[in-house]
Amino acid sequence: MKNKRKLFLTLVFAIPLVIIFSQCLTNNEEKADPRGELYAGSASCIKCHKNVYDSYVHTAHFTTTRPADIHSINGNFNNNSNSYYFNKDLKVVMEKRNKGLYQVAYQKGKVIEAERFDIAFGGVKAETYLYWKGNKVHQLPMSYFSALHGWTNSPGYDGDHADFSRMIGKRCFECHSSYIKNLPLQTQSLQAIEEFDKKSLIFGIDCERCHGPAANHVNYHSDYPDEKKAKYIATYASLTRSQKIDMCATCHSGNTTRMLKSIFSFKPGDNLGDFKEIVFSHQNIDSAKLDVHGNQSQLLASSKCFIMSKMDCATCHNVHKNEKQNLVLYSQKCTSCHNTPNHNECKMTPSIGGIIKNNCIDCHMPAKPSNAIAVQTAEKGKVVPYLVRTHHIAIYNKVSITVINNLKKYNLLQADK
Ligand code: HEC
Ligand code: HEC
Ligand code: HEC
Ligand code: HEC
Ligand code: HEC
Ligand code: HEC
Ligand code: HEC
C-alpha cells in the first residue's frame, strides 16, 4: 500500500517535471545563439538593462534588417500606388498574395517573374528587399525611397528591365545584421556563389555587435546579483580613443576597402586594421575625395574639431536612443565645447542672435548628395539625390548664406529686428 502510494506520488510529481524539463530543453535549443556559446543574445540583457533595451529596440540600428511583412515595409500595396512602369509594356507590381508579399514583373500584361519580399533592409531614407532562392539571397528590383514616398528602381539598376538576378553576399549582412553563416562553397571557382544557412540569420544590429560576446558577463552577474561592477565585458571608458572609434568604424568607414577577415567577429578592443584595409589616419585626409556615404569616421577625422580635441562618436551620439533629427540636442553637444567662456563660439553669433543655438548643424555639417547612390524616378531622366550629413565639420560659406537667407525669409534673424 505504502509503496503504491509512493509510486503514485512519484508519478504525479515526475510527470510535470518531465514536461518542464523537456520544455527547458526545447527552449534552450531555440535560444542557442548561432554565433556560439560565448554569445547570450540581446533578449538576455533585458533582465538587468531594461531601460537601455527598451529604448534601443526603436533605433535604426536594431531595425536595419527584419523579416519583410506588411508592418515592416514602408511602401504601399494598395492599387494605384503599387506599380512602377519601366515603359508602357513593362511594369513591376507590388502584390499581396496568399503566401506573402510579392514583386511581380509583367510584360504586356503577362507575368514574367514573381518573387517574395523576404528580408527588409533600411527604412529611414531608403528601403531595399531581398528574397531567398534556395540558400542564396537576391535583391528585388524595386526599392522604397522615403523622399519620393514611393517605389523606385533599386539603386544602380538599369532603367530598361526588371532585374531579379543581383546576388547578395555576406558583406551587406556584416554591416546590417548581427550574423549569418556561410555554407561551404559548392565549387572552388572564383565565380562561386555564396550560400547561407537561413536559420543562422540574426536580424538587426544587436547589443553584442557593439559590446562583444557577453555570455560570461550574463552568467557571472546572474550568479552574483550583488556585484555592481561590470565583469567580463569591455567597459567603454577603458578603451583608447582609437578603439572607441573602431567600435563604430567597423561599419562606418565606407564600403570600398579590402576585407581581411569577417567583421562579424570584431569586438571592442580589437584593431580594425586586422579586419579591413582602411585609409585611416587621424590627419591629412582629403575630405573632398571621400564619398559622404557611410564614411563618417574618416570625415570626422579630417575635421579640426576632432584633431584638436578628444572627441569620439559617443560625444555626440547616444546610440541607445533614436535621436534622429533632434538638431537642438546635437547643437548642445557643439556648445558644450564652443561657448563664450572657452572663447571659441561661432563668429556669427552676434549677427544671428539667440536662435543660433538651435541649429549649428545645417551650416557646419550640411547634408550633401552621395556620389555612390542616386535614385532614378519613374519620370525618365529625373534623379533624386541621396542626402547624407557630412561629418567633415567645417565652415561652408555658400551653405551658410542659404541658411541665413532662409532665416531672413521667415523673419528670424536677430539683426533684422
Ligand atoms: C544579471 C544581470 C546582467 C545581465 C543579464 C546583463 N548585464 Fe550587463 N551589467 C550588469 C551589471 C551589474 C553591470 C555594472 C553596472 C552597470 O553598468 O549597470 C553591467 C554593465 C554592463 C555594461 C557597461 C560596461 C561599462 O561600460 O561600464 C555593458 C556594455 C553591458 N553590461 C552589456 C550587457 C549586455 C550586452 C548584456 C546582454 C547580452 C548584459 N549586459 C546583460 C549586469 C548584467
Ligand atoms: C554592425 C555595423 C554597425 C556598427 C558597429 C555601428 N553602426 Fe551605426 N549604422 C549602421 C547601419 C547599417 C546604419 C543604417 C541603419 C538604417 O538606417 O537601416 C547605421 C546608422 C547609424 C546612425 C543613423 C541612425 C539614424 O537614426 O538614422 C548613427 C547616428 C550611427 N549609425 C552611429 C553609430 C555609432 C556612433 C556607432 C558606434 C558606437 C555605430 N553607429 C556602430 C551600422 C553600424
Ligand atoms: C551601435 C553600438 C551599440 C549597440 C548596438 C549597443 N550599445 Fe551599449 N553602448 C555603446 C557605447 C558607445 C556605449 C558607451 C557610451 C558612453 O559611455 O558614452 C555603450 C554603453 C552601454 C552601457 C553602459 C552605460 C549605460 O548607458 O548604461 C550599457 C549597460 C550598455 N551599453 C548596454 C547595451 C545593451 C543592453 C544593448 C542592446 C539592447 C546595447 N548596449 C547596444 C554602444 C552600443
Ligand atoms: C561597410 C558597411 C556597409 C555595407 C557593406 C553595406 N552597408 Fe548599407 N549602409 C551602411 C551605413 C553605415 C548606412 C547608413 C549611413 C549612411 O547613409 O552613411 C547604410 C545605409 C543603407 C540603406 C539605407 C538605410 C536607410 O534607413 O535609409 C540601405 C537600404 C542599405 N544600406 C542597403 C545595403 C545593401 C543591400 C548592402 C549590400 C549590397 C549594403 N547596404 C552594404 C553600411 C553598409
Ligand atoms: C569636444 C569638443 C568639441 C565639440 C563637441 C565640437 N567641437 Fe568644434 N572644435 C573644437 C576644437 C578644439 C576646435 C579647434 C579650435 C577652436 O576653434 O577652438 C574646433 C573647431 C571648430 C570649427 C572651425 C573649423 C575650421 O575648419 O576652422 C567649427 C566650424 C566647429 N568646430 C564647429 C563645431 C560644430 C558645429 C560642432 C557640433 C556639431 C562642434 N564643433 C563640436 C572642439 C569641439
Ligand atoms: C560633433 C558631433 C558629432 C560627432 C562627433 C559624430 N556625429 Fe554623427 N551626426 C552628428 C549630427 C549632428 C548628425 C545629424 C543628425 C540628424 O540629422 O538626425 C549625425 C548623423 C550621423 C549619421 C546619420 C547620417 C545621415 O546622413 O543620416 C551617422 C551614420 C553618424 N552620424 C555616424 C557617426 C559616427 C560613426 C561617428 C564617429 C566616427 C559620428 N557620427 C560622430 C553629429 C556628430
Ligand atoms: C548661418 C550659418 C551658421 C550657423 C547657424 C552657425 N555657424 Fe558657426 N560659422 C558660420 C560661418 C560662416 C563661420 C565663419 C565666420 C567668419 O570666419 O567670419 C562660422 C564660424 C564658426 C567657428 C569658428 C570660429 C573661429 O574662431 O574661427 C566655430 C567654432 C563655429 N562657427 C561654431 C558654431 C556653433 C557651435 C554653432 C551653433 C551654436 C554655429 N557655429 C552656428 C556659420 C554658421
Give residue-wise pLDDT tens across range 93-151.
Answer: 999 999 999 999 999 999 999 999 999 999 999 999 999 999 999 999 999 999 888 99
Contact indicator for 126, 104 with CB cutoff of 8 Å: no
Query: Who's near 285: CB < 8 A, 6+ residues apart?
Result: 279, 298, 299, 301, 302
pLDDT score recorded for residue 18:
40
Most confident of 246-260, 273-287, 307-321, 379-393: 307-321
Contact indicator for 110, 98 with CB cutoff of 8 Å: no
User: For 184-226, how does the pLDDT look when each residue is reduced to its tens digit (9 = 90+)?
Assistant: 887 766 666 899 999 999 999 999 999 999 999 999 999 999 9
- Taking the CA of residue 63 as reference, the ligand 2 atom at the shortest distance is 18
Record the cell numbers describing residue 356, joined without a space.
Answer: 543660433
pLDDT score recorded for residue 381:
64
Burial 384-396, CB ≥16 within 10 A → b, else e:
eebebebbbbeeb
Distance 411 CA to ligand 5 centre (A): 28
- Cα dihedral 320, 326, 329, 330 sign: positive
**pLDDT exceeds 80 at position 379:** no
Q: How far apart are CA 181 and CA 202, in angstroms?
A: 10
Distance 321 CA to ligand 3 centre (A): 10
Record the cell numbers describing residue 162, joined without a space.
Answer: 526588371
pLDDT score recorded for residue 286:
54
Q: How far apart are CA 22 and CA 118, in angstroms?
A: 32
Name residue, grid cell 543574445.
41
pLDDT score recorded for residue 266:
96
pLDDT band for 82, please (50, 70, 90 cuts): very high
Q: How far apart are CA 270 and CA 89, in angstroms?
A: 54
pLDDT band for 289, please (50, 70, 90 cuts): low
**pLDDT exceeds 70 at position 251:** yes
* Rounded (5°) CA angle 206-147-113: 80
Contact indicator for 254, 388 with CB cutoff of 8 Å: no
116 phi/psi in degrees, rounded to 5: -90, 145
Above pLDDT 90, what percent of the chain?
66
Which of the pair, 76 or 6, is modelled with greater confidence?
76
Q: How far apart are CA 320 and CA 57, in angstroms?
A: 8
Q: How far apart are CA 282 and CA 137, in angstroms?
A: 37
pLDDT score recorded for residue 283:
43
Choose the residue to mutate in 315, 357, 364 for probing ligand 7, maximizing ligand atoms within 8 Å of C-beta. Answer: 364
Name residue, grid cell 504525479.
12
pLDDT score recorded for residue 278:
67
pLDDT band for 293, please (50, 70, 90 cuts): low
pLDDT score recorded for residue 10:
43
Q: How far apart are CA 331 and CA 394, in angstroms?
A: 14
> By CB neighbour count within 10 A (0-12 exposed, 13-18 middle, 19+ buried), where does 111 fall?
exposed
Distance 332 CA to ligand 2 centre (A): 21
* For ligand 6, atom 39: residue with the closest CA: 313
pLDDT score recorded for residue 276:
87
Distance 76 CA to ligand 6 centre (A): 30
- Taking the CA of residue 64 as reference, the ligand 2 atom at the shortest distance is 18
- Taking the CA of residue 237 as reference, the ligand 3 atom at the shortest distance is 17
Record the cell numbers describing residue 313, joined without a space.
Answer: 562618436
Q: What is the CA radius of gyration of the chain?
A: 26
Contact indicator for 297, 245 with CB cutoff of 8 Å: yes
- Taking the CA of residue 49 as reference, the ligand 3 atom at the shortest distance is 35
Q: What is the mean pLDDT of residues 50-73?
A: 97
Which ligand lies nearest to the CA atom of residue 300 in the structure?
A: 6
pLDDT score recorded for residue 295:
84
